[in-house]
Structure 1
Amino acid sequence: MQTTLSDDARQLPRAEEAERILRSCVHCGFCNATCPTYQLLGDELDGPRGRIYLIKQVLEGNEVTHKTQQHLDRCLSCRNCETTCPSGVDYHNLLDIGRAVVDAAVPRPLGQRLLREGLRGVLPNPGLFKALVRSGQVFRAVLPSTLQVKLPRNVHPAKPRPTTRHARQVLMLEGCVQPSLSPNTNAAAARVLDRLGISVTAIDEAGCCGALDYHLNAQATGLDRARRNIDAWWPRIEGGAEAIVQTASGCGAFIKDYGHLLSSDPAYADKAAKVSALAKDLVEVLRGEPLDKLGVHGDQRLAVHCPCTLQHAQRLGGAVEAILETLGFNLTPVPDSHLCCGSAGTYSLTQPELARQLRDNKLNALESGRPDVIVTANIGCQSHLDGAGRTPVRHWIELVEAALP
């Protein structure tokens, strides 16, 4: 795509990157065929090709409006378009650049600002979030339905974690909301890894991965969180930790981007690249291990929801399914498994109507094979899907751990 950035746009820190991405797009439109919002709304500007054109206009110095902002806001950042694109357009990075420029030019209404600041203040703070979840469960009956569906239906308590006893060591990111919404997920992962001779260490100083701030127009704050995590993990990395494991694929996708996002920071570029290289989704660790040692023989009927951050961002589609089939679980077919469930980080709160439609469509597909349980690999998707009150939704590692002899 022919592009001529404005003088102002050329002063942006990522101007060269934006221009390179824009020029890589040939405007073929294949991306629209797999874009969830384009399928729902049928508007060219609510598909990747249209959004790329909007960002191009902005960076070329044309008028920026609330409509521009709205079309960019409606994007799920699911990255389905990147999987589809024959030209390898790095859409998600262009979207981040475009959103920052648009938000700097177009003030948001007060309600949107309060919601976004509230999300940034609460969700990355595990202690505060846990207190609010507990209060919500006590007063669930009097809460509005929009809040009730965000509370977990069933909280499965964390089982005891094994002691650190193996020569092989990995670090694990605990996450922000997962310890409150699904406290047994990381414990189950630690117990399974322990059976395989791998000990797990959680570093208390490592907090939110930074994705939430970064995608809510607080990019500097998100990168500061990334730097703090790198500092927290670095002594253990130097001590020989072989991986940084995530059980939430959304966090994992962002940590794998640390190297790119901090590449221009001389103090952190090399460390960030090392952290990104060590970042592994749990399924990446397990698929390289002798799973027969676990002695698992699962017999439940499961429908696997592969989160967008796992299949499109991390390119690990089918990896969870392969492990579960190896362990004997009966997997039901899932039509349109490439489409987003509508969770998309905070999207279900900032775009609730679109998120609800996407969730219901996804559940219809997941339930079409009559599974006993739906399993996923990301806490946001798990909470969003389970909030509909239909088939129970769990993290897949919990089902594996429960089937251990």
Structure 2
Amino acid sequence: MQTHFSLAQLADPDLAAADKILRTCVHCGFCTATCPTYVIAGDENDSPRGRIYLIKNMLERDEQADAIVARHVDRCLTCLSCMTTCPSGVDYMHLVDQARVRIEEQYKRPFFDRLLRDVLSVVLPSQTLFRLALMMGKLAKITGVPSLFVGRLKAMFDMLPAKIAAPAVTDQPGVFPAQGPRKGRVAILAGCAQPVLKPGINAAAIRLLNRLGIEVVVAEGAGCCGALTQHLGRERAAKETARATLHAWAREMNGPGLDAIVITTSGCGTAIKDWGHLFRGDADEAVARTIAAKALDISEYLVQIGGVSPAVSLPHMRIAYHAACSLQHGQRVLAAPKDLLRGAGFEVVDVPEAHLCCGSAGTYNLLQPEFANQLRARKLANIEKTGADLVSAGNIGCLQQLESGLTQPILHTVELLDWASGGPVPAALRRLD
């Protein structure tokens, strides 16, 4: 793609990076075939190629972000399927991130949009505020008032979990010792939303790792990774949130040491592996790149240390593996989760149209419920075609997005691996007894 940035514009490192990304695009349109929003809407502006043109014009002409650019960039899920498909290696992720920052700084959204985004950016990164918000939502739901809501308000109440979990020991700062001789030491991300919604995920991961001889630490001060606020275009806030977690892990690395940083939420994993870019030009850039290099999805780390051996005889179960976009497109982790499940004794089948997003995408299902609901319905129909007994995924957003629409339980991959190797029956399966 030809660009016409001035020399003065190219003196800005971010615009210089955008120019390089734009020049990589050859207009081929391969991305349109795998872009979820284009597949649904058929609108060129809701395809990666269309958004690239909109972003190019905004940046190159130094125009104020307007409602058109904001609408179509907001509709992007950041599923990164386009980057998997692109034969030219266009770095769409960093281009759309830059566009979001500019839109957030320049475009004045309608009042309710601004209010909702402000609330989400404050509440979601805090376990305490998020748990409180869910409790208030549950109380409001009892009154029946939310049944009168439509659009985004309805989407928020529809996503309320059936049960709000109490804080778990495994999500509090502490060290969980290895069973037997210690073979390694890792930090695990407690995170923000996942401990409130499904604390059993990290509990399963820690049990499993401990049985495999791995000491696990939940570092004091490590919380949110910043991904949720970053996707809202609030890069400065995302960086400061991430910085606290970065420093907490750096203290562990410089103290007792860490072999890896293990992440059970693939959306967070994609963000953390990209911290070198988030902290570009920052005093913490070097340590951010060091941390990013140690970050591994739980499935990657389990493969690295030799996998999981079944310890109990389980009934034959067919697992439909839902590949979270952040894992398959963002991190390019494709085989590890399925190989681990098969090694643990499960039959694993792929979901048709596995490359298409389920519509969760962080806060997307709250901000863009029309697109999110269509994608959810499409994903649920494809899962149903597999005839699976269970569904497995590696991201909390996907689990929440799909759970209420499934006829079978959905569990995090590590919960199944923990069970197969001697851990307790997962709570989602105990409820079936």
Segment of structure 1 superposing worse, 270-279 or 365-374: 365-374
Distance 1:184 1:134 in 2: 19
Distance 1:297 1:138 in 2: 42
Question: Equivalences for 1:323-402 in 2 at 5 Å?
Answer: 323-388=340-405, 390-402=407-419
Is the partner of 1:331 in helix, strand or coil?
strand
Distance 2:235 2:185 in 1: 32
Segment of structure 1 superposing worse, 154-163 or 57-66: 154-163
> Offset of 1:133 from its aligned partner?
2.4
> Offset of 1:104 from its aligned partner?
2.8
Segment of structure 1 superposing worse, 157-166 or 228-237: 157-166
Distance 2:308 2:241 in 1: 38
Distance 2:309 2:86 in 1: 40
Distance 2:163 2:413 in 1: 16
Is the partner of 2:61 in helix, strand or coil?
coil
Question: Equivalences for 1:88-99 in 2 at 5 Å?
Answer: 88-99=89-100
Regions of 4+ moved over 6 Å:
155-160
Note if 1:58 corresponds to 2:74.
no
Note if 1:152 corresponds to 2:153.
no
8 Å Cα contact 1:58/1:102 also seen in 2: no
Note if 1:169 corresponds to 2:185.
yes
CA deviation vs aligned residue, 1:246-278 (integer Å, no higher than 9, x gap): 10000010000001221312x212101100000
Note if 1:212 corresponds to 2:219.
no
260, 268, 272: which one aligns with 1:251: 268
2:126 aligned partner: 125
224, 231, 243: which one aligns with 1:227: 243
Change (3 A) 1:167 1:236: farther
Distance 1:67 1:5 in 2: 22
Give the total of aligned pairs. 404
CA deviation vs aligned residue, 1:363-387 (integer Å, no higher than 9, x gap): 1111211222211101011111113
Computed over aligned residues only, the root mean square deviation of the Cα atoms, in angstroms, reads 2.1
Give the residue type in structure 2 aligned to 1:209: C
178, 198, 219: which one aligns with 2:194: 178
Distance 1:201 1:261 in 2: 25
Give the share of equivalent positions with the same residue, in percent.
43
Is the partner of 1:82 in helix, strand or coil?
helix
8 Å Cα contact 2:380/2:406 also seen in 1: no
8 Å Cα contact 1:196/1:294 also seen in 2: no
Distance 2:157 2:99 in 1: 34
Distance 2:322 2:84 in 1: 17
Distance 1:138 1:99 in 2: 34
> Offset of 1:347 from its aligned partner?
0.4
Question: Equivalences for 1:166-315 in 2 at 5 Å?
Answer: 166=182, 168-238=184-254, 239-265=256-282, 267-291=283-307, 293-298=309-314, 299-315=316-332
> Offset of 1:11 from its aligned partner?
5.8
> Offset of 1:164 from its aligned partner?
1.6
> Taking structure 1 as the reference length, what is the TM-score of the superposition?
0.94
> Offset of 1:138 from its aligned partner?
5.0
CA deviation vs aligned residue, 1:37-61 (integer Å, no higher than 9, x gap): 0000101111000110111111121
Distance 1:8 1:217 in 2: 24
Give the residue type in structure 2 aligned to 1:383: Q
Distance 2:28 2:300 in 1: 33
Change (3 A) 1:276 1:292: closer
Distance 2:358 2:190 in 1: 23
Segment of structure 1 superposing worse, 357-366 or 152-161: 152-161
CA deviation vs aligned residue, 1:220-260 (integer Å, no higher than 9, x gap): 11111222211111121123211111100000100000012
Segment of structure 1 superposing worse, 317-326 or 19-28: 317-326
Distance 1:290 1:249 in 2: 21
> Offset of 1:119 from its aligned partner?
0.4
Unaligned runs of 5+ in 1: none
> Offset of 1:204 from its aligned partner?
3.0
Unaligned runs of 5+ in 2: 148-153, 423-433
Change (3 A) 1:192 1:206: same
Distance 1:325 1:394 in 2: 15
Distance 1:387 1:61 in 2: 46
